[in-house]
Amino acid sequence: MEFRYLGNSGLKVSEITYGNWLTHGSQVENEVAIQSVRAALDAGITTFDTADVYANTLAEKVLGKALKHERRSSLEIFTKVYFPTGPKGPNDTGLSRKHMMESIDGSLRRLRTDYVDLYQAHRFDYETPLEETMTAFADIVRAGKALYIGVSEWTAPQIREASVYAHRLGFPFVSNQPQYSMLWRVIEEAVVPASEEVGISQIVWSPIAGGALTGKYKPGAPVPAGSRATDTKGGENFIKRWLDDETLTRVQKLQPIADEAGLTMAQLAVAWVLQNPNVASAIIGASKPEQIASNVAAAGVRLDAGVLTAIDDALGDLVERDPAKTASPASRVG
């Protein structure tokens, strides 16, 4: 495992982050989830990402249980706030001071820790003044409940405005967590330059496009039994955008590129996002422990210019680059 600084801070994170969206408390049984966390630790991963909304708080509980005997200072634990949890009442969502203050305490209880290393705004809240949100973040940091602050899927202007508040209020704003993969590059035109300008890094999710870049989905063939595409709890809705025959045919062209590089297609996909110098870490999930060791092998891999060009040629105009597709919901859910 290799490590990178998160933004302009002194915090180092593992190049591979273990995330439990769609798995813990949902897609896999708790014991398998705990085994997967153990496998992540054994592979050298120290950074773990979750959110209160995942499985309606159950994912945080499973992660807290899995990590309870670990040395806390040897880990970086991340969680998020924004989406509705619990009974989904009028104040059970968004980035109001009330919701954030209640949510951080709930997350800490479930994670069995006194603090999180990174507390993230899961989306931008158009209905709460940004000053209120950022002041709440500042108070959470001052209370010792979070060490650093980040956001997820914020636009370039939102990131710049948040940075102004962070500097004014005196707390470390260090990261953005966007979707990013060979197929989904919408952050490259605007978000990455804005992030470099204000000194934050990307912690990217879905680097394998929900599994579409593994090569296991074949054009004209039924989806494999037990795969993400059969997960009725959310996985199938996310990955179905990549399962048309044209996309899968292009993805199959990546196989000889991966072979030449001595990588699996999944490793190639994870290594690809890590070539972006503004990416601090790539989040991987797992429905079974053995998937982790394989994907972790992408850490430290350097792809030369010829490989990167070959990937672009294989995928062609299927790549989504429209920066307008980086956006939070226009209004709250719930």
Question: CB–CB of 27/231 below 8 Å?
Answer: yes
Between CA 286 and CA 66 the distance in angstroms is 14
241-280 as b/e, with b when 16 or more CB fall inside 10 Å?
Answer: ebbeeebbebbeebeebbeebebbbbbbbbbbbbebebbb
Between CA 58 and CA 145, with CA 133 as vertex, the angle to 5 degrees is: 55
Helix axes 245-252, 305-315, angle to 10 degrees: 160
Active site positions, annotated: 54
Would you give the distance in Å from CA 255 to the centre of its chain? 25
- Token pair for residue 253? 């062209």
> Across the chain, where does the E strand assignment appear?
3-5, 12-14, 16-19, 47-49, 76-81, 116-121, 146-151, 173-176, 201-204, 279-284
Between CA 5 and CA 10 the distance in angstroms is 6
DSSP string over 258-324 = HHHHT--HHHHHHHHHHTSTTEEEEEE--SSTHHHHHHHTTTT----HHHHHHHHHHHGGGSB--GG
